[in-house]
Structure 1
Amino acid sequence: MNLLNDALNGLGDAFANLNDLPRIGLALALVAVAALISYWQRAGVEKDLASATARSFVQLVAIGYVLELIFNQENPLWTVLMLLVMIVVGARTSGRRGKATPHATRVSFLSITLGSALTLAVLVIGGVFSFTPQAIIPIGGMIIGNAMTTAAQVMNRMSDDLLDQRPQIESMLALGATSRQAAQIQFRRALRSAMIPHIDTTKTVGLIKLPGAMTGMILAGASPLEAVQLQIIVMYMLVGAVTFTGLISAYLTYREFFTPAYQLKSLTSPVET
């Protein structure tokens, strides 16, 4: 009954804020312009653009109501459930991008779960954020989103390298190397390829662009210095999350390609989607 009341209250608030619709409509006009340009130049992305716009609208409105309900609950299990849903969706998305990696979805799920849990545990135990849905769900979403991308990058890079360098790896195995020793170069390359984009973003933050967390706070009326403090925390937090997830996914991925007898499994060229 409480959930139903909260949902009805949320609907009332939504109708009370209809003044925001003209602003949304003006922003939507930019999407229409993009579609017209695509049609004019025969880029062929009009349908994808329309689908993406409609899906994003429905998904964001739906998640808005869900968050309203969760924020009004005192039971922390709702927060944990929401994070778990995010992880499952992220693991499935990352798993589909895993190309030739065996059990890619399982690797993604474990990597994202452990990497995100470690990062959130450090932040909560250290007192950076309190374990409230208003804090943990947005922060967890950022962490899980970046962890999802990292897991996919690691699996893709390692599967490509193992496929391309199979003769060298098998030669090392024949000379008595363990699977970890034979795949050490590929392991390091996969981890590095996942971390470098985030490191480069951290290097240039504030010089090339103002990130989302900082921009959102400034638009909400916070002082630039307050926004900067939060953005610093977010940037360092994501570097940690990417590192944890990248290391775990690299370890789990390479193990999927070798048998217990230190033999490289049969590999097939990944099919691009």
Structure 2
Amino acid sequence: MDLEWLLDFLKGMIKPVAATAVVLMAVLLSFVQKLGLEAEMVYSILRAFLQLSVIGFVLQFIFTQENIGWILLAYVFMVSVAGYTAGQRAKHVPRGKYIAGVSILAGTAVTMFLLVLLRVFPFTPRYIIPVAGMMVGNAMTVTGVTMKKLRDDVKLQMSLVETALALGATPRQATLQQVKRALVIALSPVLDNAKTVGLISLPGAMTGLIMGGASPLEAIQLQIVVMNMLIGASTVSSIMSTYLCWPAFFTKAYQLESKVFKAD
């Protein structure tokens, strides 16, 4: 990392700094409307500046190394943070962070393996890390919603589940409807986004390419790949999370684990 690159980076930050004018507008509106969000807005934008600046330097270093080890390290870090965040959403699910992390890892790893195997992306840091970041982010959201919704639905319908268990149903059979409902609710935003992509808004990857000088045709080709991989990774991760949740919801005697469903 030479001094010239650093100077170019600082010059490039002039426009992002200028763009904070719109944040100041939001802060002013919050103050006028007495929303009490001024401090949080300022904190959020400062944190975003710091995080993105740091990750920019980190990625610049990794891209120059061309080392598989750095790719795996970055990927494990992203999955770990995503698993923790998704587990926080489903905090009443026992071992929720572990379940979320394993689910996200499984969904994104399988999807990434297929993309590399089919030669959609070369296995280099410049391609794999951004692609993995998009998949992990979406899988995190979907997994967290799936786990929380599944636990909440089973809690609301404990009597139905217990009746099914008493009649000889397995935990999978007794909670099949709750699992389906949780998966549908979690995956619906991803599918809706795929249905309306390009009609309502231009996604980030496509917009970035167009603003970077690529032709719209090249941009849509990449965006199609991105939408496909997001659906694949999110679906695998969400389904995996339901399978891993079952042992936490039931005892070895196939009874509901009452302490999991106590009042929040």
TM-score between the two structures when normalised by the length of structure 1: 0.93
For 1:88 and 1:45, the matched residues in 2 are separated by 30
Note the C-alpha offset of 1:178.
0.9
Note the C-alpha offset of 1:15.
1.8
Note the C-alpha offset of 1:204.
0.5
Deviations 1:153-174 (A, max 9, x none): 1111001101100011111111
| Structure 2 residue 153 is matched with structure 1 residue 161 | yes
CA contact 1:108–1:151 (8 Å) conserved in 2: yes
Correspondent of 1:208 among 185, 192, 200: 200
Deviations 1:26-63 (A, max 9, x none): 21010011000000001111111111101100000000
Note the C-alpha offset of 1:175.
1.1
| Structure 2 residue 35 is matched with structure 1 residue 35 | no
Counterpart for residue 98 of structure 2: 106
CA contact 1:147–1:245 (8 Å) conserved in 2: yes
Counterpart for residue 134 of structure 1: 126
Counterpart for residue 115 of structure 1: 107
Counterpart for residue 3 of structure 1: none
For 2:28 and 2:58, the matched residues in 1 are separated by 34
CA contact 1:218–1:224 (8 Å) conserved in 2: yes
Aligned 1:143-162 pairs, distance under 5 A: 143-162=135-154
Tell me the percent identity. Answer: 45
| Runs (5+) with no aligned partner, structure 2 | none
Deviations 1:223-248 (A, max 9, x none): 00100100011011101111111110
| Runs (5+) with no aligned partner, structure 1 | 1-5
Counterpart for residue 228 of structure 1: 220
For 1:22 and 1:131, the matched residues in 2 are separated by 33
Note the C-alpha offset of 1:16.
3.0
Q: CA RMSD in A?
A: 1.1
CA contact 1:163–1:269 (8 Å) conserved in 2: no
Residue-pair matches, total: 262
For 1:269 and 1:141, the matched residues in 2 are separated by 35
Letter of the 1:106 counterpart: Y
CA contact 2:165–2:254 (8 Å) conserved in 1: yes
CA contact 2:66–2:125 (8 Å) conserved in 1: no
CA contact 1:111–1:248 (8 Å) conserved in 2: yes
TM-score between the two structures when normalised by the length of structure 2: 0.96
Counterpart for residue 80 of structure 1: 72
Note the C-alpha offset of 1:191.
1.1
Moved more, 253-262 or 78-87: 253-262
CA contact 1:100–1:268 (8 Å) conserved in 2: no
CA contact 1:112–1:148 (8 Å) conserved in 2: yes
| Structure 2 residue 63 is matched with structure 1 residue 65 | no
Q: Quick one: structure 1 residues 18 and 75, their matched pair in 2 at CA, closer, same or farther if it must change by over 3 Å?
A: closer
Letter of the 2:263 counterpart: S
Q: Quick one: structure 1 residues 82 and 21, their matched pair in 2 at CA, closer, same or farther if it must change by over 3 Å?
A: closer
